[in-house]
Structure 1
Amino acid sequence: MENKVIETGKNDNICLKTVELCKSYKSGQNELQVLQGIDITVKKGEIITIVGASGSGKTTLLNLLGTLDRPTSGTVFYQDQDIFSLNDKSLAQFRNREIGFVFQFHHLLPEFSAIENVMMPILIANESKDKAFGLAKELLQTVGLNGREHHRPSELSGGEQQRVAVARALVNNPNVVLADEPTGNLDRITGEAIHELLYKLNEKMNQTFIIVTHNESLAERADRIIKLTDGKVEILKGD
């Protein structure tokens, strides 16, 4: 498929924009409509939290924004590019270069050390091992894991494991970081520390963070709060 760029009224302050984004799944003869005509615009450097009841479509929306799935209709523009016009190979390259992911479960490779886990996205991008090591070490220091670089996941606490996952998400310097319940598997105190880390990183690196959460204190600190109800968007805070 030929890559194409569609102009949507260029605005250098806009990071991404969804246009009539819909997602449905077929189950036998039935069709389940999960997202219905989602229109949101995300500015560079802001933090947005997405809230809503279980099954409201939060993770589905995050998967579409992260190009882990394709919409049934509508699309996502990243800096004026219709990203779903890309073929699967180009989409994977875009995803590795431009988007960082943090999930509820850290998904670290157990046989590798913290620094080796963080290096992975850079090595996948065919950068040198020396560059990957240097960037990974610097980021692990940034997230407060100086001296823990060579520990395997089993030798780290839950909070430390999630800090490694955050460092891994940031190592390619993505424009957008997508986090799906990043503290959902942590105790309250550890979760609050991860919240604070995410906000400090946003302030320091000016990257866009879109976070799905059930945590009210995390949601309230965001620049904007988006609520999903029955696959539709409601803005609770911000424009």
Structure 2
Amino acid sequence: MQLDFHQVDAFSKYAFRGNPAMVYRLDAWLGDELMQQIAAEHNLAETAFMVKEGSHWHIRWFTPAAEVPLCGHATLAAAQVLFEVYSEPGESIAFSCKSGPLSVSREAGLLVLDFPALMPQAVAVSLELEQALGVSVVTALAADKLLVVLDNEHSVRACRPDFAALARLPWQGVIITARGDSHDVVSRFFAPAIGVNEDPVTGSAHCSLIPYWAQRLNKSMLSAYQCSRRGGELHCRLEGERVKIGGHARLVASGRLWLGAA
């Protein structure tokens, strides 16, 4: 069996920046174990698999170590592949996933994710958390991920976490964030418990980041930058219980996976 794959750098206009994701458009689902093996083989933060079901695309995402319930950059990548490679008609693509309905639309040169807003709630700051991050924490909050507020952008950029210690915390992932110097919001995201020490650009993290900062800054449209080594820019707005997350995407590679005998 042969399967075509496409690699996209999401949340960037340029190759080798943003967050790389592998995308497979399937005619029918593969077994869970096989999809996990394929994701481990590619060894990117996420590999997306999608199958057309009626009027929408059912999408699933796998890190090298586990399936995840929601992923922004790989959804953006999947939409880019459908539009660019497979000439999907229209200006919007409907997806379904374990976290509910999603969509990606083309708006003013951007691909815009429509994701659920997840307002985080305050939690206690533990000594284990501060030791794992190696920084002084201003505030800690939680939704589906732990959101940690630091003093400033420099503190976010300078953070050098103990990934083994982070993996022992009771959270699938940890976001660190602060007000930005040139953007409204800066952040980084760590998820060593699911095989991703640091994710270059994390769309799903902004489901919590944007409601939090929109409330703090009293504005619904925010510019965000994830200041990982590769870096990525996100154009965000809060619309009620939804977060719109816009970005660019760049197709960088296509190829064929061979399963079984050549």
When normalised by structure 1's length, the TM-score is 0.31
Name whichever structure is richer in strand by fraction: 2
Name whichever structure is richer in helix by fraction: 1
